[in-house]
Structure 1
Amino acid sequence: MQLAVIFWTEEGCLKVVSSLKAAASIVCTALLLGNSAQASEIVGLNSGKVLQGSPPFSEAVRVGDTLYMSGQVGLEPSTQKLVPGGIEAEAKQTMANIKASIEASGYEMSDIVKCLVIMADMSELPAFSKIYLSSFEESKYPARSAFAASGLALDARVEVECIASK
């Protein structure tokens, strides 16, 4: 039987005693990295490039090097109304809004690691996907989930929420 004793402080691992020293070192490193992420400042960002006024939420929130974006719909920034033309027009505008918001936050489309797609009608997912895929470099697509929901904001056909990381 092997015994590992680990002494901890708020700064991290002080001392490891046992033959499991290498494993414990990995655990200490992981915990230290986790603690530094927890200590990161939370910054709400509102670019004004998509939504005018003061919405009751942040357009994006940055924690460390990770950017959590609020959902975007096919809102035309100049009119603050959904673009006409159905799923294709809304998909193009939604992705343009994501690009404007992410770039205003100091990130790029290639920094997006995960997207959540919410559809009013899942039968429109193939049409949305064609436009969505053209927004990213081929073979460097973010992870993605999709589901249908009724009653999207402004009666949109699609809403997309993304997470980016540098």
Structure 2
Amino acid sequence: MKRQLVNPPRTRALYDQSHFSQAVRVGDLIWVSGHVGIDPDTLRPAVGMAAQARFAFDGVRNVLKAAGAGLADTVELTTFHIDLRGADGAADIAEFTQVKGECFPDRYPAWTAVGGTQSARPELLVEIRAVAMAGSG
């Protein structure tokens, strides 16, 4: 099996500048790089966890589509959160979990949530990476 790099045209500059692929596919397995909550039209971070989670999941969805798969083919998610608890003790993870539930209404993938202290930009609240098996959804 050959390794296939997946870089949709809109992400080519990121590939050239930062030297990483949006995804790598080997056979039916697809590893998707981390996606963050940046609006692809304005290149600015969305405001709030729910909005950032939606943009990040849209990024994962678009890369999976370019790789010949979809969110339903996702077998594992790893999410990196700046604050798992939020100001009131649960808001950030609750908002994230709600958006994740919209993307995965059933047949849930394995999921690991990791808390961190900083992201690539201070406004970013979450980063999502995924592993998928094309055709398994």
TM range (shorter): 0.7 to 0.9
Deviation string, structure 1 residues 79-113 (Cα, Å, up to 9, x no partner)? 22212x21111011111111111112110111000
- How many residue pairs get aligned? The number is 124
2:100 aligned residue (125, 132, 149): 132
1:43 and 2:19 aligned: no
Shift of 1:129: 0.6
Taking only the aligned residue pairs, the percentage that are identical comes to 27
Cα distance, 1:110–1:165 mapped onto 2, change above 3 Å? same
Name structure 2 gaps, 5 residues minimum.
Answer: 86-91
Two-structure CA RMSD over aligned residues (Å)? 1.3
Is the radius of gyration larger for structure 1 or structure 2? 1
The separation in 2 between residues aligned to 1:80 and 1:101, in whole angstroms, is 17
Q: TM-score w.r.t. structure 1 length?
A: 0.70
How far apart are the structure 1 equivalents of 2:6 and 2:19?
12
Give the match's secondary structure for 2:77: strand
Q: Partner amino acid for 1:46? A: N
Which 4+ runs in 1 deviate beyond 4 A?
none
Stretches of structure 1 lacking an aligned partner (at least 5 in a row):
1-39
Contact 1:70–1:161 (CA under 8 A) maintained in structure 2: yes
> Equivalent residues in 2 for 1:145-156 (5 A)?
145-155=112-122, 156=124
Q: Residue 45 of structure 2 is aligned with which of 75, 79, 82?
A: 82
Distance 2:8 2:128 in 1: 17
Q: TM-score, normalised by structure 2?
A: 0.84
- Name the structure 1 match of 2:125: 157
